[in-house]
Amino acid sequence: MPHIVERLLKIRPEEASFKARGFDACDPAVSRKLEQMLESFIGGYNLAVEIPDKVELSRRLYAAFDNHHVKGAGEHHDYIVAVGAGFAVARIPWGLRVMDSYLRTLDPLIAWCVPCGYGFHEGFFHHKRFVDGAAAPPASLSPLGKQLFDSGLGRSLWWVKGADPSRIDAAINRFPENRRAELWAGIGIAACYAGGVGETELLALQELSGRYHADLLSGLPFAARLRQKAGNYSDTTELACRVLLDRSTDAVADMAEAAADAVRGQVRGSGITEAYALLRKNLVAKCQKIAKVQMYV
């Protein structure tokens, strides 16, 4: 049984290729950067599937990806670990049936990354259906679970559409209006964390997001906090934070942590989607204030 599950879960490294996936053509430098990020993620994900012992897994990850600064049993990478769990949910036939019971074992302020990771997986590996076809999230998900799915799906657009602002905007506009805010939030996370583009493209995203501008911006604190907590700072993240929020990576990351502190007491005994909804509401409000200030500077 363990070997069967391992075969279901593992991802071939070449699946990170834009060509293999049939994604939109883009600047080779951009596609290569984004491919390398996925190659690193897939490598770590496959090791996690192979090695159940967390201490040994951490040692192997550190040896393979020393730039990720994995320490202990990966305690500073819990967000990414939860995203990987979302990939696992997507790759086993019974994944959705057991996801809710698994999520109840996690910190609500981390657990939301699992359905978000699930949405990213479906957009990345089944983009013709979920991106080009704008298919609805699985019906078995709760309303807020579907929102989380769309956050991950939005992140996948960064790869599927080659980090091209106009293509991303056109893709999002094919979705029903009630899904667009979360898709733009996912783009904010991807643009800040994965990047690969310059100031011109970031400003184009800001312009194209229109009424969803604060939603786009609300993704940046999540991405910056991932970088800050893991200790793997990036010029890409710093650029997005400076251009779009006029703040440093640490300052933007602290926005996410302050939002988490504000809602932590409210989510005890609540489900993970409630925690995420409160986080998003808090961050959107903060970003709306920043955007208004920037308009008059």
Confidence of residue 6 (pLDDT cuts 50, 70, 90): low
Better pLDDT: 101 or 44: 101
DSSP 3-state helix, strand, coil percentages of the chain (rounded to 5)? Answer: 75, 0, 25
- For 167, counting Cβ atoms within 10 Å of its Cβ (0-12 exposed, 13-18 middle, 19+ buried), the class is middle
- Round to whole Å and give the CA distance between 68 and 192: 17
pLDDT higher than threshold 90 for residue 247:
yes
Residue 72 confidence (pLDDT)? 43
What residue ranges do the domains of the chain occupy? 2-295
Confidence of residue 36 (pLDDT cuts 50, 70, 90): confident
Token couple for 5 = 């599950």
pLDDT higher than threshold 70 for residue 165:
yes
Share the mean pLDDT of the chain.
Answer: 84
pLDDT higher than threshold 60 for residue 68:
no
**Contact predicate 69/229, CB 8 Å:** no
**Contact predicate 111/103, CB 8 Å:** yes
Confidence of residue 268 (pLDDT cuts 50, 70, 90): low
- Round to whole Å and give the CA distance between 285 and 270: 22
- CA–CA–CA angle 155, 82, 150 (5° rounding): 30
Confidence of residue 76 (pLDDT cuts 50, 70, 90): low
**Contact predicate 224/283, CB 8 Å:** no
- Round to whole Å and give the CA distance between 67 and 61: 10
**Contact predicate 49/6, CB 8 Å:** yes
What 253-259 contacts at long range (C-beta under 8 Å, 24+ apart), as own/partner pairs, is 253/221, 253/224, 253/225, 253/227, 253/228, 253/229, 255/221, 255/224, 255/283, 255/286, 256/221, 256/222, 256/224, 256/225, 256/283, 257/225, 259/221, 259/283, 259/286
Residue 51 confidence (pLDDT)? 64
Better pLDDT: 58 or 32: 32
Better pLDDT: 273 or 196: 196
- Round to whole Å and give the CA distance between 268 and 44: 31
Confidence of residue 53 (pLDDT cuts 50, 70, 90): low
Token couple for 242 = 């400076």
Q: What is the mean pLDDT of residues 18-34?
A: 86
Q: Longest Cα pair distance anywhere in the chain, in angstroms?
A: 62
Q: What is the mean pLDDT of residues 253-270?
A: 81
pTM, 2 dp: 0.83
Q: How many residues does the chain have?
A: 297
Grouping H, G, I as helix, E, B as strand and the rest as coil, residue 73 is coil
Confidence of residue 4 (pLDDT cuts 50, 70, 90): low
Token couple for 22 = 């049939």
pLDDT higher than threshold 50 for residue 64:
no
DSSP labels, 126-180: SHIIIIIS-PPPPTTS-HHHHHHHHHHHHHHHHHHTTT-HHHHHHHHTTS-HHHH
- Round to whole Å and give the CA distance between 188 and 205: 9
- Round to whole Å and give the CA distance between 109 and 46: 25
Better pLDDT: 242 or 293: 242
Residue 234 confidence (pLDDT)? 94
Range scoring the smallest mean pLDDT among 66-75, 119-128, 132-141, 243-252: 66-75
